[in-house]
Amino acid sequence: MKIKLLFLITFLLSSSTTVLAQNTYDIVFPKTENERNQKCQKCFQLFQQKPKEVKFSVKREGTNLYFYINDKNWFNQLFKNSGDGLAVDVVDKDRYSCELEPKKKSQIKGLLLKPIYGSKLRSGLKPNGQNKYRVHVGRISETLTTKELEYNILFLNDKNLCRYYTIYDLESYPWDLLDMGMYLDSLTYDSKKIKSTAKEGYILRNKTLKFKIPFEKNKSEYFQEDIKPIYDSLKLTDFNIKTINIKAYSSVEGSLERNIELQEQRANSIVAALQTFQKPTIKTEVSSSENWVEFLNDIKGTKHESLINLAKYQIKEKLVGTLSKDIEPILKHHRKAVLELELEKKDKYKTMSADELLSKFNSAISEEQLSDANNIQNSIFRKLKNKEIAPDFLQKMQIPQQAKYVKILNKNSVIKYVLNVRQALIVYNELQTLEKLVPKNGEVKYNIAAIKIRLWRFKAIDINEAKLKTQINALKNYGIDSALISRMMVNFHIIKAENLMRERDYANKDKSVTYINNNYKNFPLSDYDYLSLAQFFSYYANIDMALKLLENKVKSIEIDEDLLFYYLNLTLTNKELTQDSDYRTIMLNAINMNKKRFCKLFNAVEDGGVTFQLLEDEYLRKTYCESCIIKTYKPCLASHNNLI
């Protein structure tokens, strides 16, 4: 499931920023970094020693503001002396209104409340739930309660401002080992998606195909004869199309409304044409957008590169007449649909009951009709996956422990693990027994190694690392592809890095991280793999590795939405990145995919956003204003250069 993480971002304010002309009470603002280091030494030391488990925040109840914390002892140390205190800076989102000129950088962004010091903080701290405490730190006026507000925290040492905190509410996702798959009929991968709402499970007999259909300018209808060559090339004799996900893209010239309407017509006509080839109804999901991503990528290095610096509406105004014709060789590649088809194998045993299937399977085995037995077994697996029959049904399938039945025996064991990972140790032991029957079977050996790695990670069995490493590398002697072996070795080092981190052996942990970084390029990655690796690198403080991993992926229109927004989480607070021209492409990609979600990033934390104080970054503010507040912002665009 998705996890909400609150990140406290510290700003050690430089002397170049100004203080707003308002009451700052008795707070002292150090003028130089050296002065701050001298006067804030105790405060800095306490924050350096703060356990990562210590969390704090400011929350509002009515007109009252409370400081919350989960560690009373650390709190009392922080505010031990009479001059140690905190103050709240109440920041109003109106400060960043797109109708106003950008504000000058300031140490105090909003309404500064009166600071509270030592003894009053300690005596006012009261229990508020299990291992939680709170203290009243100020009030706001009734008129402010209708505003979108955030509450920044000033930490004071001997009345000197030492730390200024803004709370960023960033979204994270669970991560896992890279999916190694398991051999059934062929290598079968976990079908789980990044989104927490997706049901996890395994694709047993389905496959997914992805391809592109270009659109001719102004053409919206597709007919059976247009689609038949594609359908024939897919060789769908044994498969039905179960679902189609279509992402339709128009080139950027012309009216946005007309472009979206045209793309939806095109996408729906493709679905209608494909539906004529089969009776089962095809489930469809269609999205449409203008292809700004590839437009900005493709005009780089051309004589039209200066268009990159214009706002979207300005680009549209220029893409008329002669310029439109001149750029048509570029634009024509941007009109297309990206189709992802999930195919389901036709099942001639679909209507049979479980008892009929069992009888037919056992008869096929006794008569050594292995091809029929294999197909019936797959039909049984489908019913298992759909929970039409119970897992103990597998015990009724009569399969002799003989080498000629190895594929069927292997599948019957592996399916138990596929459907329930808690069966891993049982299946591991079954496969080791099967290996004695077929000591040179690569698929069985691969399955054993894959489950063994999982068991090692969860400390379910003792592992000799050197022997496991040798076992993985030896798979090449049994016909296993080198890319699959490389993927396993990356997982080996992911687990090893986790173990070394717990042992505080940082030097060897870094060696495993380096190995992973050097070798993940040796095999293809799914979107879930990209996410897992990126979060692995981030967790071990290798943000640069995570960004390098994703930098090209996030500029592709085919990237998974959640993976793209994870990248934004990693980078939105990095001003060097946000002001790079490529970052515009990445943000427009996010806006095209889910404009509402992108704009929500700039809501107040209490309203589900990361923080509206991201708009302190003028580059992000311009993006937000152009894409999220178009009606009010557009009249102001003419007075700015290099807007997006």
- Average pLDDT over every residue of 322-344: 88
Encode 560-621 in three state secondary structure.
Answer: CHHHHHHHHHHHCCCHHHHCCHHHHHHHHHHHHHCHHHHHHCCCCHHHCCCCHHHHHCHHHH
116: exposed, middle or buried (Cβ count in 10 Å: 0-12, 13-18, 19+): buried
Looking at the chain, the whole-number percentage of residues with pLDDT higher than 90 is 52
In this predicted model, what pLDDT tens digit does every residue of 304-319 receive, in sequence order? 999 988 888 889 899 9
Within a domain: 254: yes
Which of 276, 310, 345 terminates a domain? The answer is 345
Report pLDDT for 21: 54
Residues linked to residue 149 through DSSP beta bridges, in sequence order: 92
Bridge partners, residue 244, by sequence = 284, 341
Q: Are residues 571 and 636 in the same domain?
A: yes
Pairing of strands 283-290, 239-250: parallel
Give the range of the structural domain holding residue 341, as residue numbers without chain letter. Answer: 206-345
User: What phi, psi does 603 have (nearest 5°)?
Assistant: -75, 165
pLDDT, residue 393, reads: 93
* Residue 108 clears pLDDT 70, i.e. is over it: yes
* 107 inside domain: yes
SS3 135: strand
pLDDT beyond 70 at 204 = no
Residues 279 and 152 in one domain: no
> Looking at the structure, do residues 78 and 166 belong to the same domain, yes or no?
yes
Cβ–Cβ contacts within 10 Å for residue 350, how many?
A: 9
Give the pLDDT confidence score for residue 53 in this predicted structure. 77
Q: Judge whether residue 430 has pLDDT over 50.
A: yes
pLDDT tens, position by position, 137-157: 999 999 999 999 999 999 999
Asked if residue 166 and residue 33 are part of one domain, the reply reads yes
Choosing from 345, 360, 377, the residue where a domain stops is: 345
Task: Give the model's pLDDT for residue 11.
Answer: 43
**Among 160-174, 221-235, 378-392, where is mean pLDDT lowest?**
221-235
Supply the mean pLDDT for the chain.
86
Cα separation, 85 vs 515, in Å, equals 47
130 and 211 both lie in a single domain:
no
Does residue 384 belong to any structural domain of this protein?
no
339 and 213 Cβ atoms separated by less than 8 Å: yes
Domain boundary, last residue among 125, 154, 172? 172
Choice among 137-141, 406-410, 624-628 with the minimum mean pLDDT: 624-628
Please give the full DSSP string across 182-233, using - where no structure is assigned: EESSSEE-B---SSTTSPP-B-SSEEEEEEEEE--TT-----HHHHHHHHHH
| Least confident among 4-8, 99-103, 229-233, 323-327 | 4-8
522 within a domain of the structure (yes/no): no
Least confident of 86-90, 375-379, 554-558, 613-617: 554-558
- Distance, in Å, from the CA atom of 65 to the CA atom of 153, rounded to the nearest integer, reads 12
For the chain, what is the domain count?
Answer: 3
Q: Is residue 521 part of a domain?
A: no
Tell me: do 70 and 139 sit in the same domain.
yes
> CB of 334 within 8 A of CB of 251?
yes
DSSP 3-state of 374: helix
